[in-house]
Amino acid sequence: MNYIQTEINGVWLIEPRVFSDQRGYFMEAFKEAEFKANVGDVHFVQDNESQSSFGVLRGLHYQKGEYSQAKLVRVIKGKVLDVAVDLRKSSPTFGKYVSVELSDENKRQFFIPRGFAHGFLVLSEEATFTYKVDNAYAPQSEASIRYNDETIGIDWPIAQEQMILSDKDGKAVSFRDAELFE
């Protein structure tokens, strides 16, 4: 696998080696020793999967305090724009974001450490999104920041009128009002 450090320290783009032939393809999606040597010692405890249609925007989500989560995300069907926003007040990239296109074609993965909000927008007819997390979901510690917050200024590639949000995401707080990380 090829590990590419993004412009935000700790956020990684991972490109697997894909072996294709007339039967299809094979790739290693995760190899603990290699991940540890390149990214760090992250102990994933749960795998999650979601399916969404075009225009669905999930995010910007995070968990606070001791329930914070690191995520290793990828798309196994379709295409999304995936976004990580740095919520670490002590970081030189505080309030900045990095985005990547993940798809079943490019097979890229995106590692988002603790201290970040995360979201994605479905760009294909539908998408199946899967991710590993290093901490269990804790509903009492979940939080969301508005996807269209002006302070962050994410450049989403489709019009807001085409986006489909949950009620919770539609009522998310601004970046300025969010509970952030030290």
Where in the sequence is the domain holding 164, given as residue range(s)? 44-170
Confidence (pLDDT) at 140: 94
Alpha helices in the chain, H assignment, sequence order: 32-38, 167-170
Report if residue 181 sits inside a domain. no
Confidence (pLDDT) at 29: 93
State the total domains in the chain.
1
Is residue 61 annotated as part of the catalytic site, yes or no? Answer: yes
When pLDDT is cut at 50, 70 and 90, the band that residue 163 belongs to is very high
Report if residue 130 sits inside a domain. yes
User: What is the widest separation between alpha-carbon atoms in the chain?
Assistant: 53
Residue tagged active-site, from 61, 62, 97, 118: 61
- pTM of the complete model beyond 0.85: yes
Report if residue 21 sits inside a domain. no
15-73: pLDDT as tens digits: 999 999 999 999 999 999 999 999 999 999 999 999 999 999 999 999 999 999 999 99
Residue tagged active-site, from 62, 97, 118, 131: 131
The CATH number linked to 146 is 2.60.120.10
